[in-house]
Amino acid sequence: MQKLLKLVLVTILFFISTFTSPANAADTANGEQLFNVHCAGCHINGGNIVRRGKNLQKKALKKYAMDSLEAVESIITNGKNNMSAYKDRLSVQEIQDVAAYVLEQAEKGWR
């Protein structure tokens, strides 16, 4: 009986982990759409029309310690200097999606 119970439990856990996605998994396709609506005006192709050196290229992100999900999410959420805060415009999930998209594009050289 105990073996059967363990088998059922393992099977249930397998199906839950296989067929459900984590709530906080980033959706970079959604991030791209959001980026195009909210960010591309200043950051087209990973650039920066306001402050040229503070762009979204991998080298600049690393130089300014903005090369982690947490750092990018924080600046999107709270803004900094000329960068507007988006915490009142985007949900936490949308901010995560945009941050993941930015880092993914930086890795690809914004191609």
Q: Hey, what domains does the chain have and what are their CATH numbers?
A: 23-108 (1.10.760.10)
User: Mind listing the pLDDT tens digit for each residue in 18-66?
Assistant: 444 444 578 999 999 999 999 999 999 999 999 999 999 999 999 999 9
Give the residue-averaged pLDDT of 71-89.
Answer: 97
Torsion of CA 92, 26, 41, 106, to 10 degrees: 130
| pLDDT exceeds 50 at position 79 | yes
pLDDT over 90 for what percent of the chain? 75
Give the residue-averaged pLDDT of 71-79.
Answer: 98
E-assigned strand segments in the chain: none
Residue type, 73: E
